[in-house]
Structures are given as structure tokens and as C-alpha cells.
Amino acid sequence: MTPTSTPLATRLTARAVSRRPRWTPLRAAFTVLDRLAPPLAARWAIHIWCTMPKNAGRRRDARPGAGVRSDLTTAAGCRLAVEAWGDGPPVYLAHGWGGWRGQMGAFITPLVEAGYRVVVLDAPGHGDSGPGAMGPGRGNAAEFTQALTELTDAHGRAGASSLTRSAALPPPSPFAMAHRCPGSPLSNRAQTRSV
């Protein structure tokens, strides 16, 4: 039987089985390290967990055109790339892990046409922003959240909404609620989508 004539279920099962062994050595290593040297296992786990994916597809640019570009330096000294479009109450867009602000472009035109000012940032270590405290290509959710907090301090919180992608902030956005925006028009309706 040729590979093209193999039933789909058999091909899918074979593909799933061929992927499984890739993680087996990693799991075995963590099992042993966790018992023999827990601090080393913890450092290795943090290194893996906080390293961003290297995927050129994440640099897709869906922005409708260049916005007003600025930099914001956080209290921790990280330079954030920020871009804004339109006038009105702010809507903050947050990309997903390993992404960048250009991925959020499909939301910009409809929000600007609805009367919002759209503000998008590259999180620390992402896109055109500088590295965070963990260094280039590494980051964590705490830095991401702090960057969003400082962005709203700089660009305004009144009537703010947030729209997130991936695991950045699940809706209804704790970010919006923490910034006294629970009744904002988008914070309770935003849908998280992974791409």
C-alpha cells in the first residue's frame, strides 16, 4: 500500500505516535532531576517556560497602515514599542505569547470607525520592544501585565477597554477590571482567539 492510499485514521494515528517520543526524554529528565536536584530542575523549567517561540509567522503584519509610533520606558527600564490610531476612549490590544502588535491589525479599523482610540504595544521582549528583566527572547506574564498597567497610566484609563489574543489576558479582562473598567463596552465581550 502506498502512503497516499493509507486510510486517513491510520495516517493520523501514526503521526500522533511519531510525535509522542519527542517529549519522553524531556519528561524522563525532569523526573530524575526533580528527585536528585530540585533547584536545577526548577531553573531548567523556568528557562523552558519563559523562552519565547521563534516563529517567523508570528511577524505577520495586519495593520491597516502606520499609526502614531512612540516608545514608553517602564519603571523597570524596559523600552516598549507602542502604536496608536484614532481618537476617543482608549481600547488596548494585547498580542499573544511570542507575538507582536502587528498581529492585532484586523481589529484596528473597526474600532477606530466605532470611535475608539486603539493603542497597541509590543510586550517586553516581543516585537520591537526591548528585552525584559529575563533578557532577550525571554519573558513572563508578570512583565506583560506590568507593561499593560504602565501603558494605561501613560495613555489613560477613563472608559478604557481591552481586547486580548491568546493567553495574554482572558476575557472578561482582569486587566480592565483591575483598572476600574468593568462596565466598559468591550472588556466583557472580548473574545480570546489563538491563531
Taking only the tens place, the pLDDT of each residue in 30-88 is: 888 888 998 998 888 888 888 888 766 567 788 888 889 999 998 889 999 999 999 98
**How many structural domains comprise the chain?**
2
Same domain for 39 and 76? no
CA 41: distance to chain centroid?
26
Same domain for 64 and 27? no
Same domain for 110 and 28? no
Residue 110 burial by Cβ neighbours in a 10 Å radius (0-12, 13-18, 19+):
exposed
Beta carbons within 8 Å of 140's beta carbon, 6+ residues apart: 50, 132, 134
- Show the domain range for 14: 3-49
pTM higher than the cut 0.85: no
